[in-house]
Structure 1
Amino acid sequence: MYEFFKIDDRVLKAAEEAEQKAAPYLAKISETQRYNQEKMQAAFMQAGVSESHFVATTGYGYGDRGRDVLDEVYARALGAEDALCRYNFVSGTHTLTVALFGVLRPGDTMLSVTGMPYDTLRGVIGITGDGNGSLKEFGINYEQLDLLPDGTPDYDGMETAITPKHRMVYIQRSRGYSLRPSLTVEEIERIVKIAKRRAPDCIVMVDNCYGEYVQKMEPTAVGADLMAGSLIKNPGGGIAPTGGYIAGRRDLIESCAYRLTTPGTGREIGCTLGNNRELFMGTFHAPNVTGEALKTAVFTAALFEGFGFDVTPRYDEPRADIIQAVQLREREALCAFIRGIQQGAPVDSFVVPEPSPMPGYDCDVIMASGSFTFGSSIELSADAPLREPFAAWMQGGVNFNSGRLGAILAAQSMLNAGFLNL
């Protein structure tokens, strides 16, 4: 079957069986892909996108029509009042940080209702690190409601934990480096309703990284006040070279724009330096690319579950983000998996990933990422901290055929290393 790769017949047979088993769920993803792509097409048409919006601006960027229209496209596609999409958001964490500092003030209290936030945000809040420039240093208080033992939200706990003193109720949609379930839009809507009943004036903010276009609606369409994400994940469609977005209530977006630039100038300045074309193009392709990444995740779950490994989500479970976790049980098995994913990359396939320290993490991390955009996780990638339960968190795949091959090569790498019993 594979003319260009040396793959064991037993692995190929397992892959065929996995795809057959997953077929109904792949078809369901295709239906969501189609819906979201039509929604995106409508957003582009309603915003009146034209070639003139791709023109580069320099200096202050006054009157950058493309910048403003891209914001409108994001707002329409995400079901929000307004949006702020910029190439100079350097990461998802930076985007979230701008949003947090944009709307919180000294003396405010934020409450995370999904337990401990993602590793790199802990220093922003002031939970870890030296506190230099953190929310804590600016007098912004942090509280936390842990998830239930099964990793699901503690809705009953929210009824007492959320009070009018909370300026923000914070939700992390994706699992991060944990095995808890990611949150569906329906679950987020339930949290929003509790929060607004308990603290009517609070801001419900969602870290939406990895979740865009996985379902037919986004958190801002079901009452979330603010959400943010990275363009080198789902919403950039594998084309945006960098950037991030914030979407939500118009007044809150204005405050975020003041934090991004300066009070009084906000979104009115900021040249785009010729990046608009790629941002528009990536945005347009994002729903389809996200669907391809989801198909890759479902196939991988079916394949490795067939090999006897614990996976989350399972291939037949509902999904709220593009991340697929595979528990490999042993350090070297995990490394073999990651190295196999790297072998399936179009860029740097010859590189052998090795565990190493990474800023913001408390242990060595091993990462496979042979992407056209450095660090892009909508392109096929996998990474893992070298700690129990030695799970790999895989994401991305801009088309299912290449993503499928990457998962198969990961299995072959594990077989070669003696970690598959076939």
Structure 2
Amino acid sequence: MWDGNWASLAGTAESKASARLAETDDIAERNQWKVIRAFQKHKVSDFHFEGSTGYGYNDRGREVLDEVYADVFGAEAAIVRPHLVSGTHTIGAALFGVLRPGDEIVFATGRPYDTLHKVIGFEGDGTGSLADWGVKAKIVPLAAGGAVDWDGVEAAVTEKTRVFALQRSRGYDWRPSFTVAQLGEMAERLKRLKPDAVVFADNCYGEFTEDREPTEVGVDLIAGSLIKNPGGGLAASGGYIAGRRDLVELAAYRVTVPGIGGEVGAMLGTTRAIYQGLFLAPLLVGQAVKGSIFAASVFEELGFETHPRRGDERTDLIQAVRFASAEQLIAFVQAIQKAAAVDSHVVPEPWDMPGYEHPVIMAAGTFIQGGSLELSADAPIREPYIAFMQGGLTYAHVKFAVRQVLEDFHRLGLL
């Protein structure tokens, strides 16, 4: 399958993917301009980077950061905080903020990402999950080909339906992720079904991969993690929630408590990195997307199935590759780790990770622990054997890692 001539294979892969690579540079440029204009509109200055302590009263840097995020995402309001520990925590805060006992939430894009299952929970589980608080979740599986099953969604709607939840990224599924245009069409159709319901989107892995965000096309509320795209590789922790002002306020009451919301919260020295990370995010997301396109092109040349394919439209960072065996899957993830600048000597092994239903193997040689804008890969050890690669702060790093994979496969007799 591979004769060992890396230069030839890489050149062919880049040539065949050249149109998408160029388009990605154009998207990064437009997003960079959008971020700069938001900084300029709100007169971001160096004094905004000063930290706050205690309650964080009158932290103008924090307040302006929220305003900048709202503008960048085309939203009425936003809350951006280092205290949100993950994407799952941030999504949970948004959902708990909006939902009330007796409400129903309909997951219109199928089974959500594994770590949300415990947030949904089951009645009487005693954990404080949505179900434990009397919120009923209805999950409508996707139709063939990854499309929304509109008949199923319509059947799930009742007078108690308060939230429609959409997941932009594929998660651990072999399906297309949903583009911003598709999310806008979904939002319009869902509001016709239940005009007073909230349309929420998990925006993780999607920020800046297109030149619009879901809140610019009719989605009411979005949430994401700062250690993914918008943190630009510099934010050490945190999450954001953006959308309609009333909904962001409700979410803020869950991030802190009612009556306080987003009015307090010391930033603990994180403000500069969050601002600077947002400034860098369009460029670095573009580098990661280009790396995913290149990886898809290389593996397609070698006869592997990829999703998305090199010529497909991109709406998130994630590149899925299907392998023939668990051995290939594990070797792929281990090679990604070997190619890291941090912890390259560590050999990942499958393990029972909290929040996941199957053993998972993860490569994460990152400067920020769990930083998914940095090059990483993970896979549940189950059939079909699909690895999910994401991130890469530089295009060159992703190319380096793909080459490491091929060298290891060749050495182990897996090609």
In which range does the TM-score fall when normalised by the shorter chain? over 0.9
| Cα distance in 1 between the residues matched to 2:107 and 2:318 | 21
Say if 1:342 and 1:235 are closer, same or farther in 2 by CA, change over 3 A: same
Q: Report 1:369-388 matches (<5 A).
A: 369-388=364-383
Per-residue CA shift, 1:90-132, capped at 9, x if unaligned?
0000000100110100000000001111100011011599451
DSSP-derived class of the 2:161 partner: coil
Deviation at 1:229, TM superposition (A): 0.3
In structure 2, runs of 5+ residues without a counterpart are: none
Partner of 2:128: 133
| Cα distance in 1 between the residues matched to 2:218 and 2:97 | 19
1:266 aligned partner, one-letter code: G
| Cα distance in 2 between the residues matched to 1:198 and 1:148 | 19
Identical-pair percentage: 51
Partner of 2:32: 37
Deviation at 1:267, TM superposition (A): 0.8
Residue among 109, 112, 123 paired with 1:114: 109
Partner of 1:264: 259
Question: Does the 8 Å CA contact 1:384/1:393 hold for their aligned counterparts?
Answer: yes
| Cα distance in 1 between the residues matched to 2:384 and 2:242 | 35
Deviation at 1:39, TM superposition (A): 0.3
Partner of 2:324: 329
Partner of 1:412: 407
1:411 aligned partner, one-letter code: L
Partner of 1:222: 217
Per-residue CA shift, 1:349-393, capped at 9, x if unaligned?
111111111001112111111110011110000000111111110
| Cα distance in 2 between the residues matched to 1:114 and 1:136 | 19
TM-score norm. by structure 1 comes to 0.96
Q: Report 1:210-359 matches (<5 A).
A: 210-359=205-354
Partner of 1:196: 191
Question: Does the 8 Å CA contact 2:207/2:213 hold for their aligned counterparts?
Answer: yes
Question: Does the 8 Å CA contact 2:124/2:131 hold for their aligned counterparts?
Answer: no
DSSP-derived class of the 2:262 partner: helix
Partner of 2:69: 74
DSSP-derived class of the 1:353 partner: coil
| Cα distance in 1 between the residues matched to 2:247 and 2:12 | 49
Partner of 2:119: 124
In structure 1, runs of 5+ residues without a counterpart are: 1-6
Partner of 2:100: 105
Structure 1 stretch 14-23 or stretch 151-160: which is displaced more?
A: 151-160
DSSP-derived class of the 1:292 partner: helix
| Cα distance in 1 between the residues matched to 2:348 and 2:122 | 30
Partner of 2:41: 46
Question: Does the 8 Å CA contact 1:155/1:191 hold for their aligned counterparts?
Answer: no
Deviation at 1:159, TM superposition (A): 4.3
Question: Does the 8 Å CA contact 1:170/1:204 hold for their aligned counterparts?
Answer: yes
DSSP-derived class of the 2:35 partner: helix
Deviation at 1:165, TM superposition (A): 3.0
Residue among 15, 21, 24 paired with 1:20: 15
2:317 aligned partner, one-letter code: I
2:68 aligned partner, one-letter code: V
Partner of 1:4: none
Residue among 209, 216, 224 paired with 2:204: 209
| Cα distance in 2 between the residues matched to 1:22 and 1:39 | 26
Per-residue CA shift, 1:160-210, capped at 9, x if unaligned?
444443100000110111111100011111111111111110000000000
| Cα distance in 1 between the residues matched to 2:294 and 2:124 | 39
DSSP-derived class of the 1:214 partner: coil
Partner of 2:387: 392
Say if 1:129 and 1:374 are closer, same or farther in 2 by CA, change over 3 A: farther
Aligned residue-pair number? 414
Question: Does the 8 Å CA contact 1:311/1:327 hold for their aligned counterparts?
Answer: yes
Partner of 1:176: 171
Partner of 1:3: none
Partner of 2:80: 85
1:104 aligned partner, one-letter code: L
Deviation at 1:12, TM superposition (A): 3.5
| Cα distance in 1 between the residues matched to 2:162 and 2:123 | 22
| Cα distance in 2 between the residues matched to 1:247 and 1:310 | 36
DSSP-derived class of the 2:78 partner: strand
Alignment RMSD (CA, Å): 1.5
DSSP-derived class of the 1:188 partner: helix
